[in-house]
Structure 1
Amino acid sequence: MKSIFKHFLPILFLLVNYGAVAQNQAREKLLLDFGWKFAYGHPFDPAKDFNNGTSYFSYLTKAGYGDGAAAKNFDDRAWRDINLPHDYAVIQPFSEKGSFSHGFKAIGRNFPEVSVGWYRKTFQIPKGDLGKKITVSFDGVFRNSIVWLNGHYLGTEPSGYDSFEYDLTDYINYGGENVIAVRTDATMEEGWFYEGAGIYRHVWLNKSNKLHVASNGTFVRTEMDGTTAKIKVRTTLINQDVASRTFLLKQQVLNRDGKILESQQSASITLKPLEHKDIEQVILLPNARLWSLDDPYLHRLQTIISESGKIVDNYLTKFGIRTIRFDANEGFFLNGKHIKITGTNNHQDHAGVGAAMPDELQYFRIRKLKEFGNNAYRCSHNPPTPQLLEACDSLGVLVIDETRLMGINDYHLNTLKKLILRDRNHPSIISWSVGNEEWGIENDVVGARIVSTMQNFAKSLDSTRAITAAISGGVGVGISTAVDMLGYNYIRHKDTDKHHATFPQQLSWGTEEGSTVTTRGVYVDDLEKHYLSNYDRPQNDHFFSLEDGWKYYVKRPYLAGMFIWTGFDYRGEPTPFGWPSVTSYFGMLDLCGFPKDYYYYLRSWWTQKPTIHIFPHWNWSGKEGQNIPVWVYSNADEVELFLNRKSLGKKQMPKNGHLSWEVAYVPGTLEAIGYKNGKREINDVVKTTGEASNIKLTAHQNSIKANREDIAVITVDVLDKNKLHQPTANQEIEFSIEGPGKLIGVGNGDPTSLENEQFLSEIQTFEIANLQEKLSETKIEESAVSDLAKQSGWQKAFADERLQPFGEKYAAVLYKGEFNLPANYTDGTFKFFFNSIGKQQSVYVNGKQLASNIAQSKNGNTFELDVALLKEGKNEVLILTTPLTKKQSWETVNSNPGLIQMVVPASAWKRKLFNGLAQVIVQSTGGTGDIILKAKAPGLKEAILKIPALPAPQRPAIP
């Protein structure tokens, strides 16, 4: 039995770390993503911001005085139900008054009504958790977030990208209800690209012993001696107890399956109350399996604190065993092997969902990049979500991790510190970037000083990785002379050879290159429509074309490699256009992840996969006899082109180049055949198609996990009667869904599309206005309410102080108020979220009684209203009460009878095809069974896709 327990112990540790229910549980990490409430506030009008910060004592004046929507007892029942991650920018329409850099979304300074978002979450904490350390951590909130728990102000985080954590331990109502409130303000932009808005990353509730490993408190570094790995572990321990604690610290190296490979235990350690201590340990692991691009194998480090034989904390760290080295003349080496960096820059948004990307979408995007040989990812230009780094670790992609803002004060350096401490165990990260295109300081001594300070600070935290900064201006001055690893942004007019000769010890690579602008599926410029051809060319004279850029880097060994601007298109920066273009044109893939043609150029020269790609499509009705430029990307030795089986000639493929022909258009079949060593190896075909007749739906995975988080990314394609892809189709497709799934976003990659990306119900609320009262010293019978309502003698409600003498004098109070409905009220469904304003009360709307003599309720009452009862314009509310009173003058009684909520159901989900393609994303709602997605359009055969939602464990979460 003892041997069996030993065998399963590592697996038990893994489960406990992720919050599985277990006896003597030492640490829990619980997802706090589900069951939030959301509503819009206002950046400068307190009345529209739920009167937050307007009380006599504000939340900055005295502890626990969060008011308005920050108050624990605030009534949020009329708010929208949402789960996280959530981006309230992506659901806004487009407007010419919106920001160019943010894709003209109607959010920001010109749109105050939708630029502030409020979130509230109610949850329980068991009594048994009293005595634990409990924190809440946010992976990222855009932006200027303010957080309260039970009305207690926790803090403000100005950045939309930094992860942050607050201690809840002493504020919690153990054994009862707790409310976390978050106010976000996206009025001010932080970057010059689409950034989203709101709690767009995960939130976690963490529970641990007061003696524990600090948050992000392990640092694992690896060295190799032959096949033996030397694993150096630094652990930061904290004792937040009131007494000294004496304990043992054990480190266990586990393989992917949870098997213990090696372990080490410390001698006895003592920490005084509130003491921090770093403990260094070294573990030797023979025959170590390395992390690499082709075999991204991840080990686990289980850090165990035990006291008197009892485990009081366990902390799991994923890491990879690998070595990295940069050489000023030869570039980059991974595990001693030379690797040319073939990377892309990317922002953090995707079609349909904006910045609120489910975890699987991170993996989907990294796989798409890796397919064409992208081996490195630059986080442009901000700390990424942790799940992006996990995807790079798991799939084998190198990373430049970048801080948001250069500077030397506490804010700047603490931001950099949080980034490094959070991310330092990811084997994918090979460099910390401390700046990007800081034009105001790039070329002067101030910039050199700042980068030196930031660089030295970063090295004090992690000396194992290169420190870089990206330079777009001149080199040989300022930042470029002081940074260890120079990042060139666009070298068309820079002499890198001269700079390398002048600074021979400086490392260097291309942090941005290419900057070509194209529109997927377009082969003739249409400047009126803002569409640009897919034939590779530089944006202007300041840039290389993609091909010329790669040729420059590949022949210079001292340049470690290059990062193309960009892997994916992104919202904002629609260079070289403005309105109504709303997304960029730079990507190798469009906003949905559909490849543009030069995806295949990169695949030809960045991978060893046999590749051949011919373009354009061959649908050119009306251009018969006219020459069409035909390009072929391939890594074959030679390529021969055929039109309707007639050879148009065989050509030798230039290294790192492409081939082209001028072909007089004739409908039919265009075929390119690639030869390797004189033998036919690969071919590609484009054919003239007929009109679209069928819709085709294809999911990126055959099933999804029934865990409320997993997704299927669906490609929407149209085919002609011969089942050929129709490359110019632009019909509008309508979608519907059945079963345990929901639609969360649609897109098509069209940079000028102003269509909705999500289709949600519309929620409006109406206050009970002009509240008046009629006081009575005797009881009022319900039968008399209607007549009394018509009489005069009303006064402003709650004009008299509600102390006990008031209750002794008046036996009843009749209140009268009104709410006004718009002309389209018949489209909606209605609820009256009623709040008690009496000890007993009867409630009427437009003369119809909703409730009779109901008792005061702490949580209020909800009444569904029949639309037939309502009318456009003024509607009357009557409330007959036994009055509320208070004992002391500083107490308050509720004077707000509640809100009327109108919900207009969402319209059907739909999206136009763009050059034959669109995309829809389906997410699990938690149940098992078949999700049925249907797509239809006039004149096309309906498509039906079945996606099984299979049983799967859900991550431990707060319900």
Structure 2
Amino acid sequence: MKSYKILAFLLLIKLSQATASFAQDKIELKREHILIDTGWRFALGHPYDVKKDFYNGTGYFSYLAKTGYGDGAAAPGFDDRTWRKLNVPHDWAVEQGFDKNASLSHGFKAIGRNFPDASVGWYRKSISIPAKDLGRKISIAFDGVFRNSIVWVNGHYLGIEPSGYHGFEYDITDYLNYGGENVIAVRVDVTIEEGWFYEGAGIYRHVWLNKTAPLHIIPNGTFVRSTINNNEALVKASVTLKNDALENDKFNIKQSIVDAKGKVVASGSLQNIELNALTEKEFTIDIPVVKPQLWDLENPYLYQLLTTITKNEEVIDEYKTNFGIRTIRFDADKGFFLNGKRVEVKGTNNHQDHAGVGVALPDEVQYFRISKLKEMGSNAYRCSHNPPTPELLDACDRLGMLVIDENRLMGITEQNLNYLKKLIIRDRNHPSIISWSIGNEEWNIEGNITGARIAKTMQAFAKTIDTTRAITAAISGGIGNGISTTIDLLGYNYVATKNTDEQHKKYPAQFSWGTEEGSTVASRGLYSNNMEKHELAAYDTRQNENFLSLEDGWKHYAARPYLAGMFIWTGFDYRGEPTPFGWPSVVSYFGMVDLCGFPKDNTWYLKSWWTDKPTLHLLPHWNWKGSEGKPIEVKAYSNCDEVELFLNKKSLGKKRMEPNGHLNWTVNYTPGTLEAVGFKNGKKILTDEVKTTSNPTHVSIIQEAIPIEKSTLAILKVDVRDASNQAVPTAVNEIDFQISGPAKIIGVGNGNPTSLEPDQFIEHIDVIQINDFKEKPISNIDDITELTTDLTDWDYAFKQERTQEFGKKVKALIYRGNFDLEDWNDATKITFFYKSIGKQQSIYINGKKIADKLTENKKGNAFTLDKSVLKVGKNTIAILATPILKVQSWDNINADPGLFQVLKPAADWKRKLFSGLAQVIVQSTGEAGEVTLKASSNGLKPAIIKIKL
């Protein structure tokens, strides 16, 4: 009992010292929003094998029973040095191989219930918190972790987030070691899928450390909306503040509107406001803006709201909010209006994965993808079927793309409605968002009274948070009952099975649009069906009687002004749902562009009728060796009045283009040049041609444009060309990639739905344990007589407690064990990560000394081993040490000597071309210097490019 009183007294003194220090030091007031994506450690765990899951949750007290009892890999002192080093965002699913027993929805990546060894992942990171931060509010925020994540800080359990799509934030203020290191541990479990499409695995969005004063603006705590009257906008700027101090506080609020050049154009303020301790409250200021620049599709002009909180003339918090001034409205008869002008919604549906990188997209890839959709005339994006990463919405704001922001799962429980609220509050300042979607194809409820009730409740709830956008839901089953009778903005999924005119007549006040249409399937660059090889011709062919072709779908919507427009299924291909196939198809066939962003021919149909830009595109390619004299179906997509077709300069006839249509010819194949000539008002304005190419002679690389300043990323298109420098559209060459300079390759792809090639080439780590670890007392640590003796009379290591009494009897020990190694190559690196088991120790491997009389090191030692010391098969380790003894009975003495890490470098990056193309994504590592990429293929002249980053 006496020892406990002494301990309590010492703790009281320490607490008093900390309080005194806090009183003397001024609290840092400036808000900090710190990206902590770098320097993480990662290892795979296990959903039910505790040994493989680092013994987490096996302690006498679990982290759910007592505060601060995170154990195993959640414990702050856990040794993670053998784990892989990486940065987030990270998707470990895309790193896995393919397996026919894996989920079709997830593109047959070997994760999930059938693959427990790859279905739990652990992340750990150490961060330093300065002593001067004591007194601030500090939190850790995750933009998205897929899925079922558990987070600890310094062994303190923070919470579980089951959803893989919603961001979450934990207050860690009171758990931190100020003036020292702090350990974040995250366990992620993807055993169960959340959707029916590829979802990835891991911390696949950004992670932030947020620091504020006790009185501060809450996360996502501003809301900006505007009304426009003549040439003036009235901006209503709301801000929610929280006072985390233990006493009331008085302060001032200033809201300033800053234009794109950084000039303050309007402002408003509230003075001498009081907020009670531990409460939060919203404040609103009306700010007139004269002659505002409106956000629209052609000129997506953004303002910034600067919210400043001051106290005693000192700034204690600042918060920046990007927003746009614009008006939106839906009309039941005339569709959608932006800034008073009718805009035909020309949208695409998209999931969130990309070739090579899975769902862990660098920010620049978001801008690249949106720009590819805009190139084909798309002006709207549906987030299918989950809340997106914030950077996707930023790209839509800056590039001019309308958005349906979609909730993941319908329901009215507190959790369901809280998820919807989080989505709206996080995203409501984005001018690109024109509608909140509460659900998609909920077949079990969408056509019955249960669905109608749920939709009505969710719709009303959404309007309590934001009244500026319409609420939609996507219906694929029958209409005229259920959700379709109560939703403000009806979303039709596939009108081939629905009568939109009848619904409009029955519900004349209801807004409507097509949330999914088209659903055509095609393999990029292939023009004949081969069902055995899972190849589908890239013509716009109706999938089956339940779907319209792309052209027929657009004609339906374009002819009906009451329909605001439509969203194609899909803009980009995505992993999973390889309709109409299964294994070995691993990617969908639906996209207007493939998984890399390479356009399929349908994009030119859309470009013809979704843009005013003169367009002419001829398909297919003209490489049909062995088909001489056989009929080939030829199409032209164009918005010209007429198109004339020529084969080797001989006219095959001129045809007039039907609005929203295309032109067909049947041409007997002859090698050479097929040329289309487009006419407008009788004048030739455009040509397009396809040529028969010869065998490839060289590789070509082109760096694609990314519409963002100071990109740290390069997306490169690779093809092979013939002697005339014509790209060979049928090429399937394998391309090898080598990179030099301060950059790395992070992913490769080619858009082939049946490719089972690796997306990534990463280092391989094996962790080897020490087996049969035994001990025997010796006279001193220089006594090597037991290095090679028989172990029959030895005891198991640490069987005896290391008490003070033990130390009186035993002055030194020898520990012996063994470890197994497989064969290695010259590039393999083998490291022993040792953890001290003695006050002083010497280490021998296979009888050779690798460390002499090391003193105890709490952080451990690392030894890169010379392979001449090692052998394939069983190796021995001996440690001669003076024992570490307990001072108090509850002390924990380390009994783990450590692990061996066998690191095999990544294989060389490579990818086969598909229909003549491949993609490689390169990312800067941050240092200065020139980056060079070499692409080579057997028998061809390589391509070398200096990459601009």
TM-score (norm 1): 0.95
Task: Tell me whether 1:50 sits opposite 2:50 in the alignment.
Answer: no
Alignment match, 2:834: 834
Alignment match, 2:848: 848
Q: Deviations over 1:122-156 (max 9, x none)?
A: 11011111111111111000000000000000110
Q: Deviations over 1:859-896 (max 9, x none)?
A: 00000111222122211110001001112222210011
- Residues 405, 810 of structure 1: CA spacing in aligned structure 2 closer, same or farther, 3 A cutoff? same
Q: Deviations over 1:95-143 (max 9, x none)?
A: 0011011100000001000110000011101111111111111100000
Q: Distance in 2 between matches of 1:783 and 1:167?
A: 53
Cα offset for 1:755? 0.1
Alignment match, 2:910: 910
- Is the contact between residue 368 and residue 706 of structure 2 (CA under 8 Å) also seen in structure 1? no
Aligned residues: 924
Q: Deviations over 1:667-697 (max 9, x none)?
A: 1111111111111111101111001111110
Alignment match, 1:4: none
- Is the contact between residue 231 and residue 290 of structure 2 (CA under 8 Å) also seen in structure 1? yes
Counterpart mapping for 1:501-512 below 5 A:
501-512=505-516
Residue from 724, 727, 737 that aligns with 1:725: 727
Amino acid at match of 1:717: D
- Is the contact between residue 674 and residue 690 of structure 2 (CA under 8 Å) also seen in structure 1? yes
- Is the contact between residue 704 and residue 711 of structure 1 (CA under 8 Å) also seen in structure 2? no
Amino acid at match of 1:517: V
Amino acid at match of 1:746: V
- Residues 705, 799 of structure 1: CA spacing in aligned structure 2 closer, same or farther, 3 A cutoff? farther
Q: Deviations over 1:206-261 (max 9, x none)?
A: 11111011111100001101111110011111100011110000000001122111
Alignment match, 1:781: 782
Secondary structure of the structure 2 residue equivalent to 1:418: helix
- Is the contact between residue 142 and residue 168 of structure 2 (CA under 8 Å) also seen in structure 1? yes
Counterpart mapping for 1:306-325 below 5 A:
306-325=310-329
Alignment match, 1:11: none
Counterpart mapping for 1:936-951 below 5 A:
936-949=936-949
Alignment match, 1:711: 713
Residue from 117, 121, 125 that aligns with 2:121: 117
Task: Tell me whether 1:216 sits opposite 2:192 in the alignment.
Answer: no
Q: Distance in 2 between matches of 1:820 and 1:827?
A: 19
Counterpart mapping for 1:137-176 below 5 A:
137-176=141-180
Alignment match, 1:931: 931
Secondary structure of the structure 2 residue equivalent to 1:49: coil
- Is the contact between residue 347 and residue 568 of structure 2 (CA under 8 Å) also seen in structure 1? yes
Alignment match, 2:188: 184
Alignment match, 2:9: none
Q: Distance in 1 between matches of 2:838 and 2:707?
A: 54
Amino acid at match of 1:736: Q
Task: Tell me whether 1:374 sits opposite 2:378 in the alignment.
Answer: yes
Q: Distance in 1 between matches of 2:117 and 2:510?
A: 50
- Is the contact between residue 704 and residue 947 of structure 1 (CA under 8 Å) also seen in structure 2? no
Cα offset for 1:357? 0.2
Cα offset for 1:782? 4.2
Q: Distance in 1 between matches of 2:662 and 2:28?
A: 64
Q: Distance in 2 between matches of 1:883 and 1:677?
A: 95
- Is the contact between residue 27 and residue 132 of structure 2 (CA under 8 Å) also seen in structure 1? no
Q: Deviations over 1:331-350 (max 9, x none)?
A: 00000000010000000000
Q: Which moved more, 1:189-198 or 1:267-276?
A: 267-276
Q: Distance in 1 between matches of 2:77 and 2:703?
A: 44
Alignment match, 2:582: 578
Task: Tell me whether 1:550 sits opposite 2:558 in the alignment.
Answer: no
Alignment match, 2:664: 660
Alignment match, 2:437: 433
- Is the contact between residue 568 and residue 588 of structure 1 (CA under 8 Å) also seen in structure 2? yes
Q: Distance in 2 between matches of 1:473 and 1:842?
A: 73
Alignment match, 1:475: 479
Alignment match, 1:957: none
Alignment match, 1:383: 387
- Is the contact between residue 825 and residue 872 of structure 1 (CA under 8 Å) also seen in structure 2? no
Counterpart mapping for 1:799-878 below 5 A:
799-824=799-824, 828-878=828-878
- Is the contact between residue 383 and residue 419 of structure 1 (CA under 8 Å) also seen in structure 2? yes
- Is the contact between residue 704 and residue 924 of structure 1 (CA under 8 Å) also seen in structure 2? no
Task: Tell me whether 1:353 sits opposite 2:357 in the alignment.
Answer: yes
- Is the contact between residue 250 and residue 266 of structure 1 (CA under 8 Å) also seen in structure 2? yes
Q: Distance in 1 between matches of 2:409 and 2:627?
A: 52
Secondary structure of the structure 2 residue equivalent to 1:608: coil
Q: Deviations over 1:543-572 (max 9, x none)?
A: 000000000000001111000000000000
Residue from 418, 428, 446 that aligns with 2:450: 446
Alignment match, 2:17: none
Amino acid at match of 1:750: N
Alignment match, 1:524: 528
Q: Which moved more, 1:733-742 or 1:883-892?
A: 883-892
Alignment match, 1:793: 793
Residue from 320, 342, 347 that aligns with 1:343: 347
Cα offset for 1:824? 4.4
Alignment match, 2:107: 103
Cα offset for 1:410? 1.1
Alignment match, 2:922: 922
Cα offset for 1:728? 0.4
Alignment match, 1:14: none
Alignment match, 1:739: 741
- Is the contact between residue 113 and residue 192 of structure 2 (CA under 8 Å) also seen in structure 1? yes
Alignment match, 2:678: 674
Q: Distance in 2 between matches of 1:785 and 1:772?
A: 12
- Residues 704, 710 of structure 1: CA spacing in aligned structure 2 closer, same or farther, 3 A cutoff? farther
Alignment match, 1:12: none
Q: Deviations over 1:493-519 (max 9, x none)?
A: 101100110011111100000000000
- Is the contact between residue 106 and residue 197 of structure 2 (CA under 8 Å) also seen in structure 1? yes
Alignment match, 1:607: 611
Amino acid at match of 2:872: E
Q: Distance in 1 between matches of 2:185 and 2:612?
A: 52
Amino acid at match of 2:446: E
Alignment match, 1:396: 400
Cα offset for 1:700? 1.4
Q: Distance in 2 between matches of 1:780 and 1:750?
A: 62
Alignment match, 2:16: none
Q: Deviations over 1:359-418 (max 9, x none)?
A: 000000000000011100000000000000000000000000001011001110010010
TM-score (norm 2): 0.96
Secondary structure of the structure 1 residue equivalent to 2:739: strand
Residue from 78, 83, 87 that aligns with 1:74: 78
- Is the contact between residue 521 and residue 536 of structure 2 (CA under 8 Å) also seen in structure 1? yes
Q: Distance in 1 between matches of 2:455 and 2:268?
A: 39
- Is the contact between residue 578 and residue 587 of structure 2 (CA under 8 Å) also seen in structure 1? yes
Q: Distance in 1 between matches of 2:926 and 2:705?
A: 17
Amino acid at match of 1:733: I
Cα offset for 1:828? 2.3
Residue from 30, 34, 37 that aligns with 2:34: 30
Cα offset for 1:23? 12
- Is the contact between residue 715 and residue 919 of structure 1 (CA under 8 Å) also seen in structure 2? yes
Q: Deviations over 1:74-98 (max 9, x none)?
A: 1001100000110000000000011
- Residues 68, 825 of structure 1: CA spacing in aligned structure 2 closer, same or farther, 3 A cutoff? farther
Q: Distance in 1 between matches of 2:786 and 2:431?
A: 73
Residue from 220, 243, 248 that aligns with 1:244: 248
Counterpart mapping for 1:895-906 below 5 A:
895-906=895-906
Alignment match, 2:10: none
Q: Distance in 2 between matches of 1:702 and 1:379?
A: 21
Unaligned stretches of 5+ residues in structure 1 = 1-21, 950-959
Alignment match, 1:759: 761
Report sequence identity in percent. Answer: 60
Task: Tell me whether 1:94 sits opposite 2:98 in the alignment.
Answer: yes
Alignment match, 1:643: 647
Q: Distance in 1 between matches of 2:434 and 2:41?
A: 39
Counterpart mapping for 1:129-140 below 5 A:
129-140=133-144
Alignment match, 1:18: none
